[in-house]
Every structure is written in C-alpha cells, then in structure tokens.
Amino acid sequence: MNIKTPSSKTLIQSLSGGNQQKVLIGRWLANNPDVLILDEPTRGIDVGAKYEIYTIIADLAKQGKSIIMISSEMGELIGMSDRIMVMCDGRVTGFIDGKDATQENIMELATQFEA
C-alpha cells in the first residue's frame, strides 16, 4: 500500500490524510471483499496520494473486484468509472457508460429535479 509512517507505533490519526485513507483501504482489503464501496475516497488528500489510491482502485478492478465509488469530483468520476449512476434529490435519474461520460451529460442528469 506504500504507507509512509515515522514508525510502526505511529497512530493512524497522526498520519497524513492520504496515508490514513490507504490504511483504511488496506484494512478493508484484508477481508478480501468482492465488492468495495468507497465514499469520497480522495477527498482532502494531496495529488500524489490521489494517484496512489486511483492505482489501487484500478488494480482491484483488474482483479475482478467490484468497486462502487461515490464521488462529487467530476474528473474523478469521468476518469475512473466504467459506468456512472447519477442521482438528483435522492432518486436515480440515469446511467451513463464511462466511455460516453462528459461533464455536460452528467450535470444534465444531476439537475433533473421533480416538478
């Protein structure tokens, strides 16, 4: 997982945000799940840690794991997704294949409020 710590006795809460995220992902992976649900996995971490987490997610997908990623970052959704489910006001408004995803078609679905 490439987690950087000053020592093995360092508390998780003392680590950087990116290293904290990697520790949590590592804990979940220790259970060998078939499905992993990640809610805002890169929120508040630096670019380098984001890249490492994206690499971990991509590797898991290549291994056949199912990844459900919830994200409010448009670039993250478009760059990482095979399929995007869009919601508005707590209801599903549509699905978009990752290869067809654009900011425009995602936002069109994300703003379909009920009249």
The dihedrals phi and psi of 56, each to the nearest 5 degrees, come to -60, -45
Mean pLDDT value across residues 83-106 = 96
Residues 57 and 83 in one domain: no
Residues 110 and 88 in one domain: yes
Pairing, β 66-70 against β 35-39: parallel
- How many domains does the chain contain in total? 2
Residues 62 and 88 in one domain: no
CA distance readout (Å), 64 to 14, 21, 29, 44, 73: 33, 22, 13, 28, 24
Structural domain contains residue 39 = yes
Residues 54 and 95 in one domain: no
Give the pTM: 0.79
Q: How confident is the model over 64-94, as pLDDT tens digits?
A: 999 999 999 999 999 999 999 999 999 999 9
Which domain does 55 fall in, by range?
A: 15-70
Residues 35 and 63 in one domain: yes
